[in-house]
Each structure stands twice: as C-alpha cells, then as structure tokens.
Amino acid sequence: MSTLATIFPVFFMLGLGIASRIRGWVSTEQKEGASSIIFTVLFPLMIFNLMATATIGGGHVLVIAYMVVVYLLALVVGKLLSGFTGKRYAHFSNFLMPVHEGGSVALPLYLSIVGASSNTVIFDVAGMTVTFVVFPVLIQHIVSAGASPKEIVRNIFTNSFVIAVIGGLALNFSGAYAWLMATPAGELYASTMSMVTSPIVGMILFTIGYDLKIDAQMVAPLAKLVVVRAAFYALALVGLHLLFPALMGDKEFMMAATIYLMSPVGFVVPAIISPLYKSDEDASFAAAFTSLFMAVTLVVYVAVVVFVA
C-alpha cells in the first residue's frame, strides 16, 4: 500500500494535467501563468531552503563528487548518442540524461522499504548542484550565442536558481541558518517555507501532464532514450560498487543508490531546459520521457523488494 501511496499521487496529477488540456479546463495561457509563478517565484525559494538545510557529511563528499562527474558525463554521452536517440530532439535531449527525481519518487519508494533513512540526500546534493548551477550556466551560454562574455556572466549570476543556490549555501556554511533556527524567528521561517513549497511538486506534475502529448514519431526516440539512460545508470551503479565497496556493501545504502539512479529525470528539468525548446513538440517530448521512465523505476523497485530487501 505504501508504494501505491507514493506512485498514485504522481499519476493523478499527471492525469489531471492531461484532462485539463483535453477538456479545455485550463488554457495554455493559464498554464503558462501558473508555471511562471512556480518557476520564477516559488521554486527558487524552495532551492534556497534546500541548500540552507542540506546536511553534507565529510564522509560522503567523494560520493557527491562522483555523482556530479557522472551527471556531467551523462550530458556528454547524451549529446554523442543524439544521432541514435533522435536528431529531431538533439538540441535538448542530452539534458534529459542527468539528475533524478529524489524527493517525489526515489525517497518515498526507498523509505517504503527501510522505514527511515537519509541515504538519498547524498545523491540529491549532486543533483541539485547540476540542475540549479550547471544547467543554468550551460543553457545561458547556448541561448546567449553571440553575446559578450560580460553579458553572459551577468545573465548567469542574475539567474534566480543560481542566486538561490549561492544564497542557501552561504546561509548553511556560515552557520547563519543554525543560528536563525535557534531564535524565535526560526519557527516563523519554517512555517513560511512550508507554505511556499507545499504546492510546488503537484503543480510541476500538473504542467508535465498538460504538456504530455505523444505522437507516433516520438515513440522510437523516446524508447531509445529510455534504454540509453537506463543502461548508463546501470554502469554508474557498477562504478559505485567498484569505487565505494564499503558503502555499497551496506544493503540499505545499496538499495538507496539503485532506486535513486533508476528514477526518472527530475520533475523540474523540463521547465529548466525550456529555453532550449524550438516548439511545443519539444515540451511534449520532455514531458513524455519524464513520465515514461517511471516504468523503469517501478520495475527496479519491485526487483529490489523481491531480491534484496
């Protein structure tokens, strides 16, 4: 039942987005307005809070570094294999290779097995670094072709996600967050952030569902990209076993790594990379890929439950 409780809300919000588009309950303009509120205003606040509250243990720094390298390599591999996965989507499809949806998929599925653990947070730190620092920098460089280096740098450091990451980490590492939470204002901050962040994931899933339209010409590229991504992270898991045998020898950590690395691309990624889209079809492809990879996640989850847990 815990698995169903994790997965059903995801597909419910996806389905609600699909139904809203088909039935005309929400216009494209209304959906775009809601997306702007989420990604321009609320999501940067969520990222700021995540970075401010992240606990990064010294013993896990090498794993985080490994995952950052894996994600950067995924970008390169996705680009090199774009001729195989589909030239039609080659201008952005490699950005669907890195990072995973931890908070809404990997973590709850993992916790349904072990009960309580923070193992997936290690992977989240690497994912957030790539999604909210590397992605904005690369995307800004691509869309600012022809701009001066000074203008590109200015655009990067005025990006709301980059500002949120830098501000959150500064609050974290300076000890200011710990000090704040020890004061009466800490409760005020926590309750405010809870209200700000609570609608975000649901609305992201709604917009993914709204954009989800699979044409016949998408099927082959989608299937190929799913296979390439699953195979790549299977190799990344082998790398974890070789480089960190002690950690991977811990059954709970190994299960966390397996479920996390076989989870779908982060739900926020299709919106982050939207400046690279050339048409509505691109948005539909990204939404479809994000949704379809859930099938891989569920197969891996069942295998972990049956053969490992």
Q: Residue 114: what pLDDT?
A: 73
Judged against a pLDDT cut of 80, whether residue 111 lies above it is answered with: no
Whether the per-residue pLDDT at 147 is higher than 70: the answer is: no
Contact 17, 24 (CB under 8 A): no
**Strands in the chain per DSSP E:** none
Q: Could you tell me the residue ranges of all domains in the chain?
A: 2-208+217-307
Q: What is the pLDDT of residues 196-243, one digit of tens each?
A: 888 887 888 888 888 888 888 899 999 999 999 999 999 999 999 999
Q: Where are the alpha helices (DSSP H) in 56-175?
A: 61-80, 82-85, 107-114, 121-129, 135-143, 149-157, 160-173
**What is the predicted pLDDT for the residue at 103?**
74
**Predicted confidence (pLDDT) at residue 39 exceeds the cutoff of 90:** no
* Stated pTM of the model: 0.82
Instruction: Give the model's confidence band at 151: pLDDT under 50 very low, under 70 low, under 90 confident, else very high.
Output: confident
Of residues 128 and 65, the one with the higher pLDDT is 65
How much is the average pLDDT of 3-22?
Answer: 84
What pLDDT does 162 receive?
Answer: 78
Residue that wins the pLDDT comparison between 173 and 282: 282
> What is the pLDDT averaged over residues 161-171?
83
Residue 219 vs residues 154, 223, 224, 284, 292: alpha-carbon distances, Å: 39, 6, 9, 12, 11
More confident residue, 69 or 125: 69
Residue 117 has pLDDT above 70, yes or no: no
Burial 211-250 (b: 16+ CB within 10 A, else e): bbbeeeebeebbeebbebbbebbeebbeebeeebeebbee
In this prediction, residue 231 carries a pLDDT of 97
In this prediction, residues 18-22 reach a mean pLDDT of: 92
Mean of the per-residue pLDDT values for the chain? 86
Cα 307 to Cα 208: distance, rounded to the nearest angstrom = 33
Q: How confident is the model at residue 118 (pLDDT cuts 50, 70, 90)?
A: low
More confident call, 102 vs 119: 102
Contact call for residues 287 and 211 (beta carbons, < 8 A)? yes
- Stretch 265-289: mean pLDDT: 92
- For 229-238, the CB contacts below 8 A with 24+ separation are 229/74, 229/96, 229/97, 229/265, 229/293, 230/262, 230/293, 230/296, 232/74, 232/77, 232/97, 233/261, 233/262, 234/262, 236/70, 236/261, 237/261
- pLDDT higher for 139 or 158? 139
The CATH number corresponding to 2-208+217-307 among 1.10.760.10, 3.40.50.720, 1.20.1530.20, 1.10.3720.10 equals 1.20.1530.20
Phi (first) and psi of residue 145, to 5 degrees: -55, 125
**Confidence check: pLDDT of 1 > 80:** no
Task: Say which residue, 34 or 81, is predicted with more confidence.
Answer: 81
Local confidence band at 56 (pLDDT 50, 70, 90 cut-offs):
low
148 or 37: whose pLDDT is higher? 37
